């Protein structure tokens, strides 16, 4: 949600960046007056900003509609972010440090629809082989990473992803099987700030995970640690480590903690 604020004292570069973000969070092009009221700026200032940004290709004017939308340069910046590995580059050192200091296998996962998609995996020497690897997708409601992110989504979005029992796939017979079971589990894990998965993906393994959030407070990714369930370590001990790493990733993403 955009927070209305007085921007008259804010530097021009900051105003331009906030205008760009404001356009990016809206479903389509907007009039200059709507942008001005949304940002709390005089319309004359907004016109100056828009014209300067249009010259650089970051916004584009649609004269027939009298509206302004994102320009090609905004897309090029977004593409460059992906090309630079973005979130993976920011998270890799955190995962490496976690795996080295805990002896657990660390993963970075993102939500892809109702799946957890794993982007990174760091494991200590002699760690057992897991099915979770880079590029692997697993049902989000079964994984600690997936539920850590689902717990940070609006309830309506979770309902849309899991409308009925048919959407709940199963691997080992464990885990939530209905929208109600998932809802109460997410509420509980959301309150404690981390998620736990025990034998729901693979028998004999425990995972804990915490979510990192973006500038809107939405889940951007989750960091998880996985160990054999026979290993004498409590999930609570690992959860503190994983939460610290997720908080650090939130800071690196300039995210807003929830």
171 token code pair: 């691997």
CA–CA separation, 199 and 87 (whole Å): 28
Lowest mean pLDDT among 76-90, 112-126, 229-243: 76-90
Q: What is the DSSP letter of 4?
A: P
Of 187, 193, 220, whose CA–CA distance to 208 is shortest? 193
Which residue has 């690196």 as its token pair?
252
CA–CA separation, 139 and 154 (whole Å): 19
CA–CA separation, 94 and 253 (whole Å): 13
Predicted local distance difference test score (pLDDT) of residue 10: 73
Predicted local distance difference test score (pLDDT) of residue 4: 45
Q: Mean pLDDT, to the nearest integer, of 157-186?
A: 83
Which residue has 């929208």 as its token pair?
179
CA–CA separation, 190 and 153 (whole Å): 10
Measured in degrees and rounded to the nearest 5, phi and psi for residue 29 equal -55, 155
Query: Higher-confidence residue: 175 or 209?
Result: 209
Query: What is the percentage of the chain residues whose pLDDT exceeds 70?
Result: 90
Predicted local distance difference test score (pLDDT) of residue 144: 95
List % helix, strand, coil for the chain (3-state, nearest 5). Answer: 45, 20, 35
Paired sense of beta strands 205-213 and 195-198, if any: antiparallel
Please check the confidence at residue 1 and state whether its pLDDT lies above 70.
no
Lowest mean pLDDT among 3-7, 67-71, 136-140, 196-200: 3-7
Burial (CB count <10 Å: 0-12, 13-18, 19+), residue 130: middle
- ∠ CA 116-256-146, nearest 5°, is 15
Going from the N-terminus, what domains does the chain have, and what CATH number goes with each? 12-80 (1.10.10.10), 85-252 (3.30.450.40)
Predicted local distance difference test score (pLDDT) of residue 82: 62
Please check the confidence at residue 134 and state whether its pLDDT lies above 50.
yes
Predicted local distance difference test score (pLDDT) of residue 27: 84
**Mean pLDDT value across the chain:** 87
Q: What band does 8 get if pLDDT is binned at 50, 70 and 90?
A: low
């Amino acid at each position: 949600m955009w927070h209305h604020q007085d921007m008259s004292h804010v530097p021009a570069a900051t105003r331009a960046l906030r205008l760009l973000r404001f356009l990016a969070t809206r479903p389509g092009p907007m009039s200059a007056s709507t942008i001005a009221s949304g940002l709390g700026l005089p319309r004359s200032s907004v016109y100056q900003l828009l014209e300067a940004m249009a010259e650089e290709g970051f916004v584009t004017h649609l004269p027939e509609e009298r509206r302004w939308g994102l320009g090609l340069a905004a897309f090029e910046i977004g593409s460059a972010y992906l090309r630079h590995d973005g979130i993976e580059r920011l998270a890799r050192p955190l995962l490496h440090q976690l795996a080295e200091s805990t002896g657990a296998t660390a993963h970075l996962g993102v939500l892809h629809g109702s799946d957890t998609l794993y982007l990174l995996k760091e494991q200590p020497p002699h760690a057992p082989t897991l099915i979770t690897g880079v590029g692997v997708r697993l049902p989000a409601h079964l994984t600690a990473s997936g539920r850590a992110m689902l717990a940070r989504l609006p309830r309506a979005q979770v309902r849309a992803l899991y409308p009925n029992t048919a959407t709940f796939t199963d691997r080992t017979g464990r885990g939530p099987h209905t929208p109600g079971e998932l809802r109460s589990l997410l509420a509980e894990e959301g309150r404690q700030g981390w998620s736990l998965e025990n034998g729901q993906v693979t028998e004999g393994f425990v995972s804990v995970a915490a979510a990192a959030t973006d500038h809107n407070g939405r889940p951007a990714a989750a960091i998880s640690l996985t160990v054999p369930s026979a290993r004498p370590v409590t999930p609570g001990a690992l959860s503190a480590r994983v939460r610290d790493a997720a908080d650090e990733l939130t800071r690196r993403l300039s995210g807003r903690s929830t």
